[in-house]
Structure 1
């Protein structure tokens, strides 16, 4: 029996109200096994920010930000907690993928610098990248696949995608990756099931991937579609308690999932009493389809 996915989008670490130490302490006291650092922003000059703070430029990590994130990863890896570590690129209301498109089109030194900055993140012990595309480009499939292929070929990165709509578009990205590489570097869809994706049912996405067949390179669609849920007390909806998350996963037949997000857990904690560990336990408690059979 494999362990359920127990993922967490990690944010709110730096700045005036940053909670780096508290977040690290709660993560290490939990059984979260999938760490997703959100959100990396790509600037027009190929430099990177993590939320609002500098992250990497010229192939070199910002010493403060890099040390803070690196410390979490190192401690989690040493404790045998984080099976995978991802850096999530993108968000709503940003121009990250517009900038990536321009950088890849320019090529040369600018493209090399982008990949050098992303390599610096990989060198912290990352598995790869999570692509949270929420922009409105004319041909997102071509761009996302081109970037996916580049990350895989140049950095050896694996990827996840973080959709909240556009089932066909995201499946087309998988097919384009297979055409380009002959194998699938994307290991999962981190499906948003809150706010703009609040109406998502993972089973619908599983059915669509299954119907697409071998062209996607996905052998286990149920495990590939990883539902994400908002935590109790957060501004996102529906906002679920740990017990409600377990029940929701069981109704979907999903073997685990992920929470949105670490900062929301800590901000709501005085009222809810819920910890990151409580949500990890809830995700791990879900009964997968295989276990039910």
Structure 2
């Protein structure tokens, strides 16, 4: 099975003088996750602190789509996701309220704004959910169905806890949109640190039990680790340590993983290629 290595990034994945996009496809990562899209109470989409879609119109940097197209067309990257949410954000609460108020038809502001995003940046393959607080299944299911109708090809979940919730969301969507959810990007750092030694029992086993026979639960889960970060870059893991963890997860049947966060790789002056290699060599 083909191995995958994903990288989450914030500001460096947006156009600008210090953007990492021109060289990102030479790092060895196979998936780029642009983090994070925030959904405001009125439905506006904001990339970190930069407004990108408002009232059904794309208002972000006009070069972003072409730059991401180049990232995907030349080099190692073959998939681009945009991630919603994060710790202590209100995005999924806002999404829930907007769905309850307006639904998810083509006349709703959520539909119009996510449609505008994909129209402007058609290279986006899917949307990643980093819901760390709301945990409302109807919201996850209805949002996913709406995104599929718009034309997004896939959805991924980025959990750090509450495996039963995410598995229930998956099974519900398998009933209506089979194959739409393509994986769990499992956080094994910060609040998800307990997952570091519990991927098999905490996630693979219950997922396998919930899905039909023949489903490969291990290949569905991509564990993620935090690169060197913090004051003096004394926190997190270097590439060698990360490779060791993925070598262990290989025995569980894991075939992919991700690194959090490109911004920290830059701040600490480390080589992105070494982190991509850590995942791929560990799993090889």
Show the counterpart of 1:256.
Answer: 256
Offset, 1:89: 0.5
Which residue of the other structure, out of 64, 71, 76, is the alignment partner of 2:71?
A: 76
Which residue of the other structure, out of 63, 85, 90, is the alignment partner of 2:85?
A: 90
Which residue of the other structure, out of 51, 54, 65, is the alignment partner of 2:48?
A: 51
Q: CA RMSD in A?
A: 2.5
If the length of structure 1 is used for normalisation, what is the TM-score?
A: 0.85
Instruction: Evaluate the alpha carbon distance shift between residue 167 and residue 281 of structure 1 in structure 2; reply closer, same or farther with a 3 A threshold.
Output: same
- Aligned residue pairs total 274
Show the counterpart of 1:286.
Answer: 282
Offset, 1:110: 9.1
If the length of structure 2 is used for normalisation, what is the TM-score?
A: 0.88
Residue deviations 1:80-127 (CA, integer Å, cap 9, x gap): 432111110111111111111111112268963222221233231100
Which residue of the other structure, out of 199, 212, 215, is the alignment partner of 1:214?
A: 212
Distance 2:278 2:88 in 1: 31
Return 5+ residue gaps in structure 2 as ranges. none
Distance 1:237 1:168 in 2: 34
Matched ranges for 1:126-145 at <5 A: 126-136=124-134, 140-145=136-141
Offset, 1:256: 2.8
- Preserved CA contact (<8 Å) 1:85 1:126: yes
Residue 285 of structure 1: SS of its match in structure 2?
helix
Offset, 1:14: 8.4
Residue deviations 1:194-244 (CA, integer Å, cap 9, x gap): 0000110322211111111329xx822111100110002347997111111
Offset, 1:71: 4.0
Offset, 1:157: 3.1
Show the counterpart of 1:189.
Answer: 184
Show the counterpart of 1:13.
Answer: 12
- Preserved CA contact (<8 Å) 1:256 1:286: no
Instruction: Evaluate the alpha carbon distance shift between residue 19 and residue 246 of structure 1 in structure 2; reply closer, same or farther with a 3 A threshold.
Output: farther
Show the counterpart of 1:31.
Answer: 28
Distance 2:237 2:153 in 1: 32
Runs of 4+ with >6 A deviation: 235-238
Return 5+ residue gaps in structure 1 as ranges. 289-293
- Preserved CA contact (<8 Å) 1:6 1:34: yes
Distance 1:23 1:156 in 2: 24
- Preserved CA contact (<8 Å) 2:6 2:33: yes
Matched ranges for 1:154-169 at <5 A: 154-169=150-165
Distance 1:180 1:7 in 2: 27
Show the counterpart of 2:266.
Answer: 266
Distance 1:192 1:234 in 2: 18
* Structure 1 stretch displaced more, 191-200 or 76-85: 76-85
- Preserved CA contact (<8 Å) 1:14 1:20: no
- Preserved CA contact (<8 Å) 1:12 1:262: no
